[in-house]
Each structure stands twice: as C-alpha cells, then as structure tokens.
C-alpha cells in the first residue's frame, strides 16, 4: 500500500476538510418503524480512500452505505456525494447514483442478459453510449476482473465468485467516483472469497475510492485506510486498521473483536 494519506489521528472523529471528500454524511438518522437503524452518523470518505465498515449484524452497516445511493432514504441529516446533496429530487438522486457503483451481497446480476450485456447496461442506458463502444468498455472491464472469456454466457452459468466479479465490472462500467461494497463475499463459498477480494484489492491499489462493508477482518487490515466500527446504529470507533484492531479504545469494539478473532 503506497497511499495512506488520511490515516493521521485527526480523522478519528471523521471531520476532515470537505475539500476532497467524496462522501459526507452529517447527523444522519434512519429508522425502520420503531427500530432505529442509524443514529447521528457523521462520516466522511476522502478521495482515493478505502474505508472498511465492520460491526455485528444489525448494527446498521448495510443501511449506512445503502443511504449513500438512496436505496434507503434517510430521515434526518445531510448526505452529499461529490458535492451533490441527496434530496427528494429524483434528478439529484439519479446524478448521485451515476457516480456511485454498488456491489451487492447477492450479486443481483440481470439473469436474462448475458454477462457482456449486464456490464454494458449502465453505459448504454444511462450514459447513452453507442452499443459497440459500451460493449468494448464492458469487455475491457471483464478483462480487468479476469473473466473476459465468460462474456457471452449467462450469469447462472458462472460460479459465485465469477458472478461477483461481473457485478464489480458492471458497477465500474459507470466510471463511478466511489464504489460501495455491501458484504461482497458473504454469499460466497469459502474457496471463491479470495478471487473477489483480490479484485477489490486491485481496485484499491488503482486508487478507487471505496466503502466496504465486510466481515473479512484480514482484508480490512490489509486494504483499509480507515476502519469504522459500528454497533447499534452508531459509529462507535474510527481508526486506522492498526489502531482499531490492535488498540481498540471502546468497550463494544473490544468485545466485538474478541468474539470474532
């Protein structure tokens, strides 16, 4: 790793200057009926920064990143992505979704379309790129995630790991400013986890801004610029991997880490 730029202690509280922050969340609340999923979230992701979010299930990790591209609507607070604030305005939302790529736990590839069409979908339909150009781009991205030979197959003919790499290529095709990973390896068989993590690591080394929700602690330690620990809808602790994993300050962090490590 050659670019630990934002790892100094001043980021502990998350209030770095807005200048080169891609994602800024301030005072964000989200509730589902009578369950409070996010409580007063203040959080920033800087350019080229890799933020890994960890925490027990039900702690609001997924909700946090799903709020960033408005798959969930936050109830209070402000979220801006690359300077655009998320409001009720659908054009704003579309704008932000164009700039954020998302990779889901269950891949969510379009089963009725070939792998190539899946990847070319975004550029063609959202960026109005001509078909040939979009497919060229798609093939290039498939090569980047090392499965160009699967281009004409359908998603169901691929292994889980391959499907997830297609999903990564599909998100990248929009040339997003930030990539959101929602537990990208949780639905995978153990032997396929590494191929997906490798693809994500490669992205990180190329300088992609990323927010990754994961249970893979080894991966977090290796790739993250900052690790965010969440519990009960709150951000409990933020720090570099070394700080958070080796000298956790908060009781809840210590407890969680002792349970999983």
Partner 1 sequence: MKLWIRRNLFRTWWDGVLTLAFGALAVWVLWTLVEFIFITGRWEIIEVNLKLLLVGQFPAESLWMVQGSLVAITFWLAAALGGKPRAPEDQVAWPRRIWDVIQRFGLIIGLGVLLVVLAGPTESAPLALAVVGAVAVGRVLNTTRHRVSWLARIPAIIWHLVLLIAPIALISLTLMQSELSLWGGFLINFYMAIIAIVLCFPLGVLLALGRKSTLPIVRLISTTYIELIGGAPLFVLLLLAGVALEFFIPSEVAPGSVFRAVTVFTLFTAAYLAEIVRGGLQSIPQGQLEAGKALGLSTVKITFLITLPQALRNVIPAQIGQFISLFKDTTLAGAALSIVELLKVSEAITKQDDFLGQGYIYEALAFVSLLFWVGSYVMSRESQRLEKRLGVGQR
Confirm or reject binding of residue 69 to partner 1 (CB under 8 A).
Answer: yes
106 near partner 1, judged by CB under 8 A: yes
Residue with Cβ nearer partner 1 (46 or 101): 101
What residues have CB less than 8 Å from 189, skipping those under 6 apart?
A: 160, 161
Question: How many residues in the shown chain lie near partner 1 by CB under 8 A?
Answer: 27
Residues in region 149-168 near partner 1 by CB under 8 A: 154-157
Tell me if 110 contacts partner 1 by CB under 8 A.
yes
Contacts of 243 (CB under 8 A, 6+ apart): none
Give the closest residue to 65 by CA, choosing from 47, 77, 49, 53: 53
Position among 10, 13, 87, 94 found at the interface with partner 1 (CB under 8 A): 94
Quote the CA–CA distance of 116 and 170 in Å, as a whole number.
9
Q: With respect to partner 1, which residue has the nearer C-beta, 157 or 205?
A: 157
With binding defined as CB under 8 A, does residue 126 bind partner 1?
A: yes
Q: Find the binder of partner 1 among 7, 80, 100, 164 (CB under 8 A).
A: 100
> How near is the Cβ of 158 to partner 1 at its closest, in Å?
10
Backbone angles phi, psi at 243, to 5 degrees: -60, -50
CA dihedral over 67, 68, 74, 77, signed as positive or negative: positive
Which stretch, 19-27, 104-112, 192-200, 244-252, contacts partner 1 (CB under 8 A)?
104-112
Could you give the count of Cα atoms lying within 13 Å of 103 in the half-sphere of its Cβ? 32
Q: Which is nearer to partner 1, 171 or 193 (CB)?
A: 171
- 44-68 in b/e form (b: 16+ CB < 10 A) is bbbebbbbbbbbbeebbbbbbbbbb
Per CB under 8 A, 104 contacts partner 1: yes
Nearer to partner 1, 94 or 247 (CB): 94
CB atoms within 10 A of CB 74: 23
Query: For binding to partner 1 (CB under 8 A), which residues are involved?
Result: 69-71, 94, 97-98, 100-102, 104, 106, 108-112, 121-122, 125-126, 154-157, 170-171, 174
């Amino acid at each position: 790793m050659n670019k630990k730029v934002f790892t100094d202690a001043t980021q502990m509280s998350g209030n770095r200057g807005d200048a080169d922050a891609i994602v800024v969340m301030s005072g964000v609340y989200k509730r589902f009926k009578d369950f409070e999923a996010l409580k007063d979230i203040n959080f920033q992701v800087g350019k080229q920064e890799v933020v890994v979010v960890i925490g027990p299930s039900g702690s609001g990790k997924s909700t946090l990143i799903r709020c960033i591209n408005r798959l969930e609507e936050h109830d209070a607070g402000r979220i801006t992505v690359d300077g655009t604030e998320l409001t009720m305005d659908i054009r704003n939302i579309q704008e932000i979704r164009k700039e954020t790529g998302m990779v889901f736990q269950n891949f969510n590839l379009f089963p009725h379309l070939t792998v190539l069409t899946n990847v070319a979908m975004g550029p063609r339909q959202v960026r109005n790129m001509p078909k040939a150009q979009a497919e060229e781009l798609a093939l290039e991205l498939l090569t980047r995630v090392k499965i160009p030979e699967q281009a004409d197959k359908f998603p169901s003919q691929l292994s889980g790991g391959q499907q997830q790499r297609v999903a990564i290529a599909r998100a990248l095709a929009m040339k997003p400013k930030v990539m959101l990973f929602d537990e990208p390896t949780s639905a995978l068989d153990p032997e396929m986890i590494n191929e997906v993590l490798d693809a994500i690591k490669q992205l990180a080394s190329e300088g992609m801004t990323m927010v990754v929700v994961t249970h893979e602690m080894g991966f977090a330690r290796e790739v993250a610029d900052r690790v965010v620990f969440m519990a009960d809808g709150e951000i409990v602790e933020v720090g570099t991997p070394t700080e958070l994993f080796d000298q956790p300050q908060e009781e809840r962090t210590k407890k969680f880490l002792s349970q999983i490590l």
